Structure 1
Amino acid sequence: MTALYLTIFVTLLMVVFFYVLHQLKWQMLFFPLICYPLSFVIVQYRVERFIYRRVKKIYDDLTLLESADLRRQPITTDMGTLTRQIDRYANEKKLEIETLKVREEYRKEFIGNVSHELKTPLFTVQGYIETLLGGAMDDKKLREKYLSRASKGVERLSYIIKDLDMITKLEVGDLSLNKQRFDIIELVKNVFDLFEMKAGKKKITLDFDRDYTKPIYVFADKERIQQVLTNLIVNSIKYGKEKGTTEVNIENLIKNKIIVRVTDNGEGISKDNIPRLFERFFRIDKSGSRKEGGSGLGLAIVKHIIEAHDEKLYVESEIGVGSEFSFTLEKAK
């Protein structure tokens, strides 16, 4: 189009010029035919080269920022294509930056939580030992009392480190699953028996939603699923209300799947906290209270074990009403 406009303009200029000089001849008809292709070649070459140099600089600048997509593509001088490429690259970088910011916030919070979880029992142990070394060791009764409390602090430290080690192994796939056929009803009963006394202290009833007269066989890692049930039931006892209930329900989901539900009528969880519920050390109680004990890793372990089985984990909760945690398992053939 530039060559056409240039040809028309120059031709009209030449016609006027020769007309004024009274030298206008029929040979002027050949001028546009020569001028147009010549203008086209010159304009195309110069503009293409002009744009190419500047676009190439843009590509070079962007590839310094590790844009693999742009490096693989030929350099284009088409403005529409170039705009789309730059927009796509900018959106990718924006998403990458946002993801890094979220990760950085999570990293800071995680490190803070780890420090808090470890220093509490560590300072407790240190305090009792220093007191004993300062002279309290001579008092037999006091010595036994402080050593017992220090031992509990060490046990808590060991528990946290053990849980962290398990999560790390689950995340990197280093913890192999020993899948076998077992009765999920019997496993739930065993977990109930383990925590009957703990539940009894708060007068919480542990029970099934109905009588299961026949066994329900699943194919999974029995030890890991027991740990999942243990963590969920212990949580329901910790945050359950006095004289409350913790109920387990097992239903057929689809042909080869069952769903296990652990329901309580405790404190409940707000909707804002549910998305972060399975993060390591995440606590709903922002005051930092550790009155309920535990490593703060229970639900994170539950999540990783269920995901290691390629199964699904769900949670529903309402403040003041209670919570329901459920997970799927494969039926045994």
Structure 2
Amino acid sequence: MKLSVLVFINALAVAITLSIVNYYFQHKWFDLVVTFTISFITSYVVFYYLIEKYVYSKIKLIYKLIHNLKLGRDLRDALGESTSTDPIGDVEQEVKAWAREKKTEIEQLRSQEKFRREFLSNISHEFKTPLFAIQGYIDAIVDDEFEDTEMAMKFLKKAERNVDRLSYLIKDLDEIAKLESGEIPINFTKFKINDLVKEIFEQMELKASQHQIKLIFKQKYDDALMVTADRDKICQVMINLIDNSLKYGKQGGSTSVSLFELHDQVLVEVTDDGSGINEKCLPRLFERFYRIDSHRSRDIGGSGLGLAIVKHIIEAHEQTINVRSTEGVGSTFGFTLQRVKQSPFQVIPALKS
């Protein structure tokens, strides 16, 4: 509400009240009109001065302060002074918006603090386990003074495996850090996603047979399907997802890859018929070091960063990744890629032939 309107309403109320009181005692219409006129003008001037000096100016100052803090110095200088004619209403909206913003920031900070504590705890554990194992094997060899060479070689090989585990862990952490900071560029090229899936199946055929799991890519997906993405990065995504399905799949089961054409995207799905994942674990599945079954996961191996890397790569492509799973049935990981639409000039000759 504008200042003039607010003052007018208050002055009018006072003038009417005084006029009615005067008329009640004097019973003269002339005195009523005179009283109304004088009291209205006087009240208007007094109220305007008081509200302007002690209320309106201070509210306007608060409004400008909040407005300037929200905009920041650069934007404030560009826009100049506020020309709002209703700072009382504006300050209410500004305060409400500011309160919502601060509440969101506090919730985000709490969430980040919780994530930071869990991350430090997890990374400490991930490094501590192989380091203690290496230390134990080396101490045993030193105490034995290499008298039992067979045992020494056995322990050295175990220590080597733990060193490799540390190396993979550091490599994956470094890759995630570079993906987050944008140091690893995304080199977009056009390629056939079908051919990439077939190449990955050839690479992982031996590993799949060791797990007694069948890789399935149906013939209906043989038709060329062009996408725009970083081929090497998407290859890494596919390998991580398929490798994950082999680790947690069941013997005699299968892992299949499916392709679906959307309007301007291609949906790639990797499905297994393993033990599945509890629904409550799904929201945290792409967090670093998050493991559903910690004991089994560490027995299988890996850094615990595979799915986190997958998520970062897909998001770097400005695409989405999701997972759906049912315990005892299996899991499906799906991600989208930018589709290369075929030109109509390329379709016509194909139809004629």
What's the TM-score, normalizing by structure 2?
0.79
Matched residue type, 1:34 = I
Q: Distance in 2 between matches of 1:97 and 1:233?
A: 38
Aligned to 2:175: 166
2:197 pairs with 1:193: no
Instruction: Deviation per CA, 1:63-86: give whole Å up to 9, x if none.
Output: 5xx942599657988654433332
Aligned to 1:2: 10
Structural mapping, 1:171-250, within 5 Å: 171-210=180-219, 216-250=225-259
Structure 1 window deviating more from structure 2 (261-270 vs 199-208): it is 199-208
Give the direction of change, closer, same or farther, for the CA distance of 1:70–1:90 in structure 2 (3 Å limit): farther
Matched residue type, 2:304 = G
CA contact (8 A) 1:76 1:82 kept: no
Q: Which has the higher helix share?
A: 2
Aligned to 2:317: 309
Q: Distance in 2 between matches of 1:154 and 1:137?
A: 21
2:152 pairs with 1:143: yes
Structural mapping, 1:1-333, within 5 Å: 1-11=9-19, 30-52=34-56, 55=59, 67-69=69-71, 79-210=88-219, 216-254=225-263, 257-285=265-293, 290-331=298-339
Q: Distance in 2 between matches of 1:213 and 1:43?
A: 82
Q: Distance in 1 between matches of 2:232 and 2:87?
A: 62
Number of residue pairs the alignment of both structures matches:
326
Give the direction of change, closer, same or farther, for the CA distance of 1:86–1:258 in structure 2 (3 Å limit): closer
**Unaligned 5+ residue runs, structure 2?**
1-8, 77-81, 343-353
Q: Distance in 2 between matches of 1:156 and 1:53?
A: 67
Q: Distance in 2 between matches of 1:104 and 1:76?
A: 42
Matched residue type, 2:156 = L
Give the direction of change, closer, same or farther, for the CA distance of 1:7–1:244 in structure 2 (3 Å limit): same
What RMSD over aligned residues (CA atoms) do the two structures have, in Å?
3.3
Q: Distance in 2 between matches of 1:221 and 1:156?
A: 27
Matched residue type, 1:102 = S
Q: Distance in 2 between matches of 1:331 and 1:5?
A: 69
**Unaligned 5+ residue runs, structure 1?**
none
Q: Distance in 2 between matches of 1:75 and 1:152?
A: 69
Aligned to 2:346: none
Give 3-state SS (helix, strand or coil) of 2:315's partner: helix
What's the TM-score, normalizing by structure 1?
0.83
Give the direction of change, closer, same or farther, for the CA distance of 1:238–1:10 in structure 2 (3 Å limit): same
